Amino acid sequence: MNLGLKGRVVIVTGAASGIGKQIALAYAKEGATLALADINLDGLKKLKKEIKDVDVYVEKVDVTDAENCAAFVKNVVKKFKKIDVLVNNAGTAKMGDMETFPETTFRAHAELMMFAPVRLTNLCIPHFKKNGWGSVVNIASIFGKQPGGLISYDTIKAADIMITKDYSSYCAPFNVNVNSVCPGPVDTPLWHADGQLGDQLASATGMKRDEAIDWFAKANIPMGRYAKPEEIASAVVFLSSEPAHYITGVALNVDGGMVKSTL
Ligand code: NAD
């Protein structure tokens, strides 16, 4: 299938690691031009070296900083003359006790995973209008549909699904589709790095990190394993492709069957 992404200018946030990195690599395979943002500039530079045959612009961007986002979008347009696709992927997660979960962390998570996608979408809309075409993909989570026990994360990912829905209606007249991808657990540093979810699950269950991750997968995911980040990337690339442009406002589960609802 020709996805019609050759020469499209694609912004990916949180591209230095995990899902974002695989999203960038998947777009590169389709011949898209890449504008990659992350707070981890070394990771971006390493990724840029891996990508051949397409133009790649990388910039250290903290998506929670409004001025930083505005400057980034301006730099992308200066360099590539347009923006076609925005993938709001930068994020994090933290387990915690419901009664004592710090409000400061909750607010920081909202800045990162709720306000940043809104801000970047608003910054890109004028450029989509100019093109007469555009596509936004927000990386939400199945925990935005059913609770995963992570209070800030579940709440904010649910908001991302609604933000997607609202923007899909708003942007449709400009020929812009807006969708969410809702991954179940994915094998990325968010689970496997020190101090991250794998360790947090290990301390809650009294198991070792890998043992806890494996137990969680077998107990909760019908396919019995976490997703590979490439499996999330392929859904993202498809939703922003030409053949999928009529699909808008959906929240697509990529979860090995974990969500039981038909919605
Ligand atoms: P990851 O930790 O591997 O990557 C996250 C990236 O975001 C990192 O490169 C990090 O530097 C970047 N980032 C963090 N704060 C930033 C900021 N302020 N500005 C710019 N960049 C920033 O995690 P991942 O698993 O690849 O997660 C990517 C997205 O997928 C997140 O939104 C996450 O919530 C979502 N998600 C992950 C899973 C999973 O199980 N891994 C499941 C569902 C959804």
Give residue-wise pLDDT tens across range 52-108: 999 999 999 999 999 999 999 999 999 999 999 999 999 999 999 999 999 999 999
Q: Write out the residue range of the structural domain in which residue 112 sits.
A: 9-184+236-254
Run of H or E including 216: helix 209-220
Distance 205 CA to ligand 1 centre (A): 24
Q: Does residue 261 belong to any structural domain of this protein? A: no
User: Residues 194, 131: one domain?
Assistant: no
Number of structural domains in the chain: 2
How far apart are alpha carbons 125 and 135 in whole angstroms? 10
Closest ligand 1 atom, CA of 88? 32
Which residue's CA is minimally distant from atom 23 of ligand 1? 190
Distance 190 CA to ligand 1 centre (A): 7
Put simply, whether the predicted model's pTM sits higher than 0.95 gets the answer yes
The CATH number that applies at residue 133 is: 3.40.50.720
User: Residues 180, 196: one domain?
Assistant: no
User: Residues 180, 198: one domain?
Assistant: no
pLDDT tens track for 24-53: 999 999 999 999 999 999 999 999 999 999
pLDDT tens track for 112-151: 999 999 999 999 999 999 999 999 999 999 999 999 989 9
Angle of helix 116-131 relative to helix 151-171, nearest 10 degrees, comes to 20
Catalytic residues: 153
User: Residues 180, 88: one domain?
Assistant: yes
Provide the phi-psi class of 50: left if phi over 0, else alpha when psi is between -120 and 50, else beta: alpha
How far apart are alpha carbons 191 and 198 in whole angstroms? 5
Closest ligand 1 atom, CA of 65? 18
How far apart are alpha carbons 154 and 160 in whole angstroms? 10
* Res 62: pLDDT: 98
* Res 87: pLDDT: 99
User: Residues 148, 206: one domain?
Assistant: no
Closest ligand 1 atom, CA of 229? 26
pLDDT tens track for 190-202: 999 999 999 999 9
* Res 263: pLDDT: 81
The CB of 18 under 6 Å from ligand 1? The reply is yes
Distance 139 CA to ligand 1 centre (A): 9
| 190 CB neighbour count, 10 Å cutoff | 18
Q: Is the pLDDT of residue 22 over 90?
A: yes
Closest ligand 1 atom, CA of 157? 34
The average pLDDT across 210-214 equals: 95
Which residue's CA is minimally distant from atom 20 of ligand 1? 38
**In the chain, which ranges are E strands?**
9-13, 33-38, 56-60, 85-88, 134-139, 176-183, 251-254
User: Residues 156, 117: one domain?
Assistant: yes
How far apart are alpha carbons 181 and 20 in whole angstroms? 12
User: Residue 256: which of 228, 236, 237 has the closest Cα?
Assistant: 228
* Res 234: pLDDT: 98
User: Residues 180, 193: one domain?
Assistant: no
CB 88 within 8 A of CB 120: yes
The CB of 76 under 6 Å from ligand 1? The reply is no
Distance 188 CA to ligand 1 centre (A): 9
Burial, 169: exposed, middle or buried (Cβ in 10 Å; 0-12, 13-18, 19+)? exposed
- Residue 164 pLDDT grade (very low, low, confident, very high; cuts 50, 70, 90): very high
How far apart are alpha carbons 91 and 139 in whole angstroms? 9
The average pLDDT across 147-164 equals: 96
User: Residues 205, 127: one domain?
Assistant: no
